[in-house]
Structure 1
Amino acid sequence: MPSTLKIISWNLWHRAGALIGDIAALIEAEKPDLLLMQEAKQPLEGLHNLVGGHVHWQPMQKRVYGLAAWSPHELGNAHSVPLPISPFPFRVPPRLAQLLVLDGITFANVHLSHGQILNRRQILTIAQATEGPTVIIGDCNAVGRIRIPDFAEVGPLDPTHRLQTRLDRCLVRHLACTQSRVLARGPSDHHPIEVLIENAWATTDRAAEAALHCRAAGPAALAG
């Protein structure tokens, strides 16, 4: 296992977005250690037929899509954690986080609610449900800075959605990010984000300081 892990997160846009061929092209171009996907439909379980590796698909209640993860490495302890929901009736269906372990690091793949108080509560729930080196990454639907005890936000600062908003985020605990960037959007309404995570213990202050130096400006090319 490499000492630095390349992680990519991509909201595929289930209505008219990225298909299995687009995902395979991204994997072949970027060669990530872990690709986390939101709004992923169940046929993506066949991704290994194109690029090998291991796929985990997690359905989301009352939705036609779910959360998915692909890696060329074995992924351990794949499970989900239910997240807080809106107290108001007839709102969106329940949310959950997909949790996986790679090289001793817990990764939480998320597609959070639009409410800015609610999605912070959801992130805090994940933080409290995990321990040790942890990465929370995905479509957080967040506006503004995210402040969670013991976590540093390390993802890229460029817009990640076609409406020029930065919805896709990455937060780390006891880890540092050595590079982060936004990739070309492709057929989705979200850009993939890519982070390089150093698998070595780091304080929150060191992670925040490293994030200031690792954020690459401008989108990178996406094959396919």
Structure 2
Amino acid sequence: MTVELTVLTWNVQGSKGLDVADVAAIVVAARPDAVLIQEIGRRQATRLARALGMGSVRWCFKHRPPGARAEGLAIISPHDVAEVRSFVLRRAPRWSWRRRVGLAATVLNAHGAIDVVNVHLSPHDASRDRVLEAQNAVDAMHARGRIAIVGGDLNDGPDAPVHEVFRSAGWIDSSSLAPAGVGVGVNTAWRPGSRRGRSPDQRLDYILVPDTLDVVRSEWAVDVDELDRVARLSDHVPVIATVGLRPHR
């Protein structure tokens, strides 16, 4: 018997403020088993988990800009989580946005356990840094020694060198494994400028899965007619992937 597990990733741009109620309404409609959030503060993550009615929330520090609140990564789940660990992907002063981290946790449910890993790689023209960060993430996952699903904002396109790092280690873009004709949306983020009334124009956000898993779907977590609603909340669209898992016996 195969059971399904759904992972959602979203860069919520929490430093601009977080509409907890609206973000929660979008997330809960997707019925995820694990929610991977980038650019979120600790208190924002706690409030979001409460609004979602999910009992497990883990947050890790990324950086704290001078005069602003700290931001980081969060993993939220309706299931129990264990073996939570953060790790540094790129070293920089703790006040610098250049500092990059990852957050891993084991999601436990009635059918077994699987790791989820949340990452947010360097932006702009830092392709070489992203490759090194991806390798650090791969090393951290290998050290855990469990099947893992990776989600987050990779800040690069689907043909960028960073994907080869993950592919060579066995993690594949879930959208490439989904059945033909399944899925809504390709690009996942807007370039700077007004977002209202226009579709996302770049692809930065991914859910990567081991090539041994079956992907049931990989798509936006919202319908096309909800894009303006999402655009008011963030410059990224939430992405989901559902995979088939064989339960432990």
Q: Same fold (TM over 0.5)?
A: yes
AA of the residue aligned to 2:214:
A
Per-residue deviation at 1:190?
0.2
Q: What is the distance in 2 between the residues matched to 1:28 and 1:92?
A: 29
| Higher Cα Rg, which structure | 2
Question: Are the aligned partners of 2:151 and 2:207 in contact in 1 as well (CA < 8 Å)?
Answer: yes
* RMSD over equivalenced CA pairs, Å: 2.4
Is the 8 Å Cα contact of residues 100 and 108 (structure 1) preserved in structure 2? yes
Q: 1:161 aligns with which of 189, 206, 211?
A: 189
Tell me if the contact between 2:26 and 2:221 (Cα under 8 Å) persists in the aligned partners: no
* Residue 105 (str. 1) matches residue 114 (str. 2): yes
Match of 1:172 among 209, 216, 225: 209
More divergent stretch after superposition (2-11 vs 153-162): 153-162
Moved over 6 A (4+): none
Between the aligned partners of 1:62 and 1:49, the Cα distance in structure 2 is 24
SS in 2 for 1:132: coil
8 Å CA contact 1:47–1:55 kept in 2: the answer is: no
Match of 2:36 in 1: 36
CA contact (8 A) 2:12 2:18 kept: yes
Contact 2:63 2:99 in 1 (8 A): yes
**Aligned partner letter, 1:178:** V
Do the aligned partners of 1:110 and 1:138 also contact (CA within 8 Å) in 2?
yes
CA drift of 1:191 comes to 0.2
- Given the alignment, which residue of 66, 80, 84 partners 1:74? 80
TM-score (norm. length: structure 1): 0.78
- CA deviation map 1:43-95 (0-9, x unaligned): 22133433322211212133521111211101111110111348xxx974321
Q: State how far apart, in whole Å, the 2-side matches of 1:200 and 1:188 are.
A: 35
**Aligned partners of 1:94, 1:48: CA distance in 2, in Å?**
25
Gaps of at least 5 residues in structure 1 are 202-224
Instruction: State the TM-score, normalized to the length of structure 2.
Output: 0.71
Provide the residue aligned with 1:116 in structure 2. 127
Q: How many positions carry a matched residue from both structures?
A: 197
> Which consecutive residues of structure 2, in runs of 5 or more, have no partner in the other structure?
176-182, 192-200
Q: How has the CA–CA distance of structure 1 residues 3 and 153 changed in structure 2, closer, same or farther, with 3 Å as cutoff?
A: same
Larger helix percent: 2
